């Protein structure tokens, strides 16, 4: 989404300049990020491909080898380039430990609200180890701060993704190697009850906490990406001697940003499982469960304009569209609305329109609101040219 927007803006700018008779060379700054995106590090800009000699502009270098951080053309999460981090147990100590990291400068204002979107690909050699390592961290400011452990970190530990949030370990399930995992962190950096932490993993919201998010100091924590493995310096047990991972699609946003501005781009094509369905009304022979059984010959039927089918995905995640297949959908159109909800009580409209009337197959609709966090979808029937019966053979949400 961002790239499309950037390309569109770059084109408009180029056309405007050409109209003025100005000849322009391809420029690093041709496109503008959405308001609120402070920094994009997707490695597509040649000015950012400074590795391994130096960190990209306005970032700090924390590796000491020729392989610590490099640019690669495969694998990539977006575009043609990504970054590759490699740390070996035998590497020199950097900034007090074993690390290969790129760091933001310690210049974040106090009380900042920040968005961080990025994608990590753990190499297939990323073997199980009882010793953990940090792959993204938010470091307490350096001067006039409590110091100590980072208030927030993303780790791999004993085969699993984990978040260390102020000393509490939150287990986010087993990691897979050789694939991109997309992460979005939204943090309001506060030392009092007004703080907030939200985390999405591959579009699913896996953490939502309120309260203090760091321990104090005159500035908010700053972000670091790359590999930090302290056990290789302290001599604690570890069964590995090398770590390699890839990093791409980093976007840093401020309080004006939204999820879609920083999240790695995804097409709205992922079918989201629906464990249960209900309805405001139904006839006993055609219950709501028939609309999620995967069988195109069974259906939910409810009588009356406004009759609604409610799909429960069981968890909050970024939903962006839906597929709906109508009984007799090749013989009659249906006017319907889709509303989305986080709690099953408060709903917001995300789409309204008319089915094609030309097919019984599932038809895809994309939310006019863009993607949103939701658990429930309500599909409400309003009209068809034959009768006042809502009859849906299959329906399901689409997620990012
Ligand atoms: Ca890239
Ligand atoms: Ca069915």
- Ligand 1 centroid to residue 42 C-alpha, Å: 4
Give residue 32's pLDDT: 58
Ligand with smallest separation from the Cα of 249: 1
Ligand 1 centre and the CA of 265: distance in Å?
11
**pLDDT attached to residue 370:** 86
CB under 5 Å of ion ligand 1: residues: 42-43, 76, 78-79, 81, 248
Q: How far is the CA of 213 from the centre of ligand 2 (A)?
A: 46
Q: Can you give the pLDDT at residue 45? A: 93
How much is the pLDDT for 308?
98
What confidence tens digit (pLDDT) does each residue in 196-219 have?
A: 999 999 999 999 999 999 999 999
Other Cβ atoms within 10 Å of 395 Cβ, number:
22
Strands 113-122 and 180-188: antiparallel
Per-10-residue mean pLDDT of the chain, 400 residues long, equals: 39 38 35 81 96 98 98 94 97 97 96 98 97 97 86 98 97 97 98 97 95 95 98 96 98 95 88 96 98 98 97 94 98 98 97 98 94 96 98 95
List the domains of the chain with CATH numbers: 33-262 (2.60.120.200), 270-399 (2.60.120.260)
């Amino acid at each position: 989404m961002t790239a499309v927007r950037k390309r569109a803006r770059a084109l408009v700018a180029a056309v405007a300049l050409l109209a003025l008779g100005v000849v322009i060379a391809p420029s690093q700054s041709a496109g503008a990020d959405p308001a609120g995106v402070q920094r994009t590090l997707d490695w597509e800009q040649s000015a950012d491909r400074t590795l391994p000699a130096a960190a990209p502009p306005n970032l700090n270098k924390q590796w000491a080898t020729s392989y610590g951080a490099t640019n690669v053309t495969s694998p990539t999460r977006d575009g043609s380039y990504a970054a590759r981090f490699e740390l070996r147990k035998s590497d020199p100590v950097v900034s007090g430990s074993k690390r290969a990291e790129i760091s933001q400068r310690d210049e974040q204002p106090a009380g900042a609200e920040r968005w961080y979107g990025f994608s990590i690909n753990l190499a297939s050699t990323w073997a199980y180890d009882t010793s953990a390592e940090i792959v993204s961290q938010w470091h307490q400011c350096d001067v006039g701060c409590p110091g100590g452990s980072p208030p927030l970190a993303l780790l791999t530990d004993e085969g699993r993704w984990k978040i260390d949030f102020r000393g509490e370990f939150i287990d986010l399930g087993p990691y897979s190697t050789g694939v991109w995992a997309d992460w979005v962190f939204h943090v309001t950096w506060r030392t009092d009850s007004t703080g907030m932490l939200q985390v999405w993993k591959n579009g699913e919201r896996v953490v939502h906490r309120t309260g203090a998010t760091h321990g104090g100091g005159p500035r908010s924590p700053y972000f670091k990406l790359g590999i930090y493995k302290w056990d290789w310096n302290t001599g604690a047990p570890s069964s590995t001697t090398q770590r390699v991972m890839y990093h791409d699609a980093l976007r840093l946003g401020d309080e004006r940003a939204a999820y879609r501005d920083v999240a790695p781009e995804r097409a709205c094509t992922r079918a989201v499982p629906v464990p249960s369905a209900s309805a405001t009304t139904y006839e006993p022979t055609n219950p709501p469960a028939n609309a999620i059984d995967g069988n195109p010959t069974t259906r939910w039927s409810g009588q009356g304009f406004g009759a609604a089918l409610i799909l429960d995905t069981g968890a909050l995640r970024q939903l962006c569209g839906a597929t709906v297949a109508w009984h007799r959908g090749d013989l009659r159109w249906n006017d319907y609305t889709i509303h989305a909800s986080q709690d099953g009580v408060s709903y917001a409209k995300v789409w309204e329109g008319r089915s094609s009337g030309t097919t019984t197959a599932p038809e895809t609709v994309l939310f006019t609101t863009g993607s949103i966090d939701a658990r429930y979808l309500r599909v409400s029937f309003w009209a068809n040219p034959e009768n006042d019966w809502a009859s849906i053979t299959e329906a399901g949400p689409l997620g990012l």
